[in-house]
Amino acid sequence: MRDREVGMYCCGPTVYDYAHIGNLRTYIFEDVLRRALTCAGFKVKHVMNITDVGHLTSDADTGEDKIEIGAKREHKSAWEVAEFYTKNFFSDTEKLNIIRPEITPKATGTIPEQVELIKKIEKNGFTYRTEDGIYFDTSKLKDYGKLARLKKENLKAGARIEIVEGKKNPTDFALWKFSPHDQKRQMEWDSPWGIGFPGWHIECSAMSMKYLGETFDIHCGGIDHIPVHHTNEIAQSEAATGKEPVKYWVHGEFLVIGKEKMAKRAGSFTTLQSLIDEGIEPLAYRFFCLTAHYRSQLTFDINAVKSAQLGLLRMTDFMERLDEVKESVTKKDISKVMGKARDDFRKFIEDDLNTPKALAAISDFMREINAVMDRNALGREDARKMRDTMLDFDRVLGLRLGETGKENAPGEVQKLVSDRDKLRKEKKFKESDLIRNKIKELGWEVLDTPKGPKVKKI
């Protein structure tokens, strides 16, 4: 940390398919962390890579490249597939109000840096060559696996990692893979070792070093990355520089369905779009994620997400209500309520991002202020202060609370909203969906609430 500057690196998406809402949970938690640091006065330099090559279907460096699988499936080039899903990913994160990291390099855009890093690791004596690539020899590092507290004696070949021909130790991993002799890959590059492509882990070491230096402050990702990907990132970076690359590792727990981890591999996964199709607003999904601590598993349940939508609505209703206050004076001392809410919120966020407790503190605050408003005892000036307090909370939560309130939809939009509502009551959902799209084209979004439809500017 230099002069209150924080370097933060987050593993980005592998862009061979749509992101699922489990992936998005991780990016939401990272965004909350970044926002909390910013609010605490740090200047955050946030880097997130795009994995557009080299992530094989198996952690043991076997199987096919996921991007090339996507290309076959969709009859597109690997480059087109990567571009399509990268765009889609950023469109999802935008809908979830995730602040775009300042630097979002692609693996394919940093091949020379990856090759240079492998050359350093080779020069320091940590590599060997097999039939299919250049491998990292994990037995050369005394404390390999320290992040995951892996015990070498427990890692007998084949016990939990596939055996790969030519590998000296089961935990060894590819730095550079050779293209197959009999086929031309769509994504391949020349290198000092032969034509091929980088192993999955090297990109993150190369990119974090390039943008944040050999040692930086925070590295995030989902917990699945601890035993292999991040363990290998540490090994590579230490072998190259002799320094610990990361001061703080911060990992988010999984979103699960039943007892299963949500995964793309399973074939059926829930995307943000599928939630939107169910009438869930993206920010309601963000709210749902905030109801759990990032280090706890969160079970996906559509009804729980719908309750989160109501939770969000309570907040936006509160903002609107504050906006509509007309009384000139406040007839109750509310400074303590506001002070306590601010103190509690800050205390909970600073306590390892305890968002569920922070939301509970806001809920108490809203209940007390609503009670004051019920008695017409809140004045305009104080209502504005309450609104500012909520907006300060929202700098961390990112629920776009500032975009609700006075803004009224134009007549044309209001007419479409009531036409759509009529069609829905007649159960003509196809027609009503067409109108929803028209409303969207005009830049507004309809939210179906127990109090009837509401519109919000997109």
Contact set with ligand AMP (CB under 6 A):
11, 13-14, 22-23, 25-26, 51, 221-222, 224-225, 252, 254-255, 261-263
Instruction: Write down the least CB distance from residue 211 to Zn ion, Å.
Output: 13
Residue 67 touches which member of ligand AMP, Zn ion, none, C-beta under 5-8 Å by kind: none
Instruction: Write down the least CB distance from residue 237 to Zn ion, Å.
Output: 12
**Are the C-beta atoms of residues 421 and 413 closer than 8 Å to each other?**
no
Q: Is residue 283 involved in binding Zn ion (CB under 5 A)?
A: no
Residue 224 touches which member of Zn ion, ligand AMP, none, C-beta under 5-8 Å by kind: ligand AMP
What is 60-87 written as a DSSP string?
TS-S-BHHHHHHHHHTS-HHHHHHHHHH
Q: Is residue 396 involved in binding Zn ion (CB under 5 A)?
A: no
In the numeric block, which tokens belong to residue 260?
Answer: 């299963």
Residue 398 touches which member of Zn ion, ligand AMP, none, C-beta under 5-8 Å by kind: none
φ and ψ of 27, to 5 deg: -70, -30
**Nearest residue (CB) to ligand AMP, 23 versus 138:** 23
Residue 204 touches which member of Zn ion, ligand AMP, none, C-beta under 5-8 Å by kind: Zn ion
**Nearest residue (CB) to ligand AMP, 228 versus 319:** 228
Cα separation of 437 and 458, whole Å? 12
Cα separation of 415 and 431, whole Å? 15
N-to-C CA span, the chain: 37
DSSP assigned state of 230: I
Residues 6 or more apart whose CB falls under 8 angstroms from that of 430 comprise none
Interface positions, 2-41, toward Zn ion (CB under 5 A): 11
**Nearest residue (CB) to Zn ion, 204 versus 313:** 204
Q: Is residue 147 involved in binding Zn ion (CB under 5 A)?
A: no
Alpha-carbon dihedral 71, 74, 80, 83, rounded to 10 degrees: -100
Instruction: Write down the least CB distance from residue 354 to ligand AMP, Å.
Output: 18
Residues 6 or more apart whose CB falls under 8 angstroms from that of 217 comprise 1, 6, 7, 8, 246, 247, 248
Kindly tell me which residue out of 33, 134, 202, 204 binds Zn ion, with binding defined by CB under 5 A: 204
Instruction: Write down the least CB distance from residue 151 to Zn ion, Å.
Output: 24
**Nearest residue (CB) to Zn ion, 47 versus 312:** 47
Alpha-carbon dihedral 97, 98, 102, 108, rounded to 10 degrees: -120
Instruction: Write down the least CB distance from residue 26 to ligand AMP, Å.
Output: 4
Strands 43-48 and 127-130: unpaired
Residues that bind Zn ion (CB under 5 A): 11, 204
